[in-house]
Amino acid sequence: MATSPAAHSQEFIGPGLSRFKLSVTIIGLVCIVGIVLWITLRQIQQGAVATAIGSTIAALLFILGFIYYLRIIAPVPFTITLEPEALVKRDRRGNVIEVRWEDLTRVKEEFFPNGKRISVIAYRKVTAPDQKAKAWAVYRDDVTDLDGLAAALHETIPETCTWESETVHE
């Protein structure tokens, strides 16, 4: 059983959506709902009660759909841990992606032409029909220390794993 040369665990944190962005989004949504309700009141004062109620319901449904969409795409906090036996990514929703070191086939890093690292992507052997070769990808804005993660992975990967560097957006 092949293990990584790492003697202890290293953990890298993906903080998810910042409090500032969450606050600004909530304030914006509250303002939009306020504008919709103000328009509704103005229409009711002018005597268009039926159209005011219908258009308000439609607007609120669109806003609720947008909120649902934002919940789906919002970045979830996660951790990537380099353990002695495996490379593990856990998120707050309970999703765990564990790639044993012997199953790690390739790690790819992408750079801008100026040399700034964009992403690190881990690939694994496909061992189940519903599994994909790409285990996970993290980007500069996702992790607090992407360069540290790349350096730790580069030192830790087994000899059977290939390391690729690519410049993109040329």
Percent of the chain with pLDDT over 90: 74
Residue 4 — very low, low, confident or very high, per pLDDT cuts 50/70/90?
A: very low
Report which of 92, 118, 89, 116 is spatially closest to residue 104, judged by C-alpha positions. 89
pLDDT per position as a tens digit, 98-110: 999 999 999 999 9
Confidence of residue 170 (pLDDT cuts 50, 70, 90): low
Minimal CA–CA distance to 12: which of 64, 103, 104, 89? 89
Contacts 24+ apart (CB under 8 A), 91-97: 91/14, 92/16, 97/135, 97/136
Return the SS3 of 167.
strand
What mean pLDDT is predicted for residues 139-154?
91
Which pLDDT tens digit goes with each residue over 35-61? 999 999 999 999 889 999 999 999 999
Q: Tell me what pLDDT residue 1 has.
A: 41
Reported confidence tier of residue 3, pLDDT bands at 50, 70, 90:
very low
Cα dihedral angle (150, 156, 159, 165), rounded to 10 degrees? 0
Grouping H, G, I as helix, E, B as strand and the rest as coil, residue 108 is: strand
Instruction: Indicate the pTM of the whole model.
Output: 0.74
Question: For residues 68 and 60, what is the distance between their CA atoms, to the nearest angstrom?
Answer: 12
- 7 — pLDDT class (breaks 50, 70, 90): low
Q: Write the CB contacts of 134 (distance below 8 Å, at least 6 apart in sequence).
A: 121, 122, 123
**Residue 93 · residue 76 · CB < 8 Å:** yes
66-92 pLDDT per residue, tens: 999 999 998 899 999 999 999 999 999
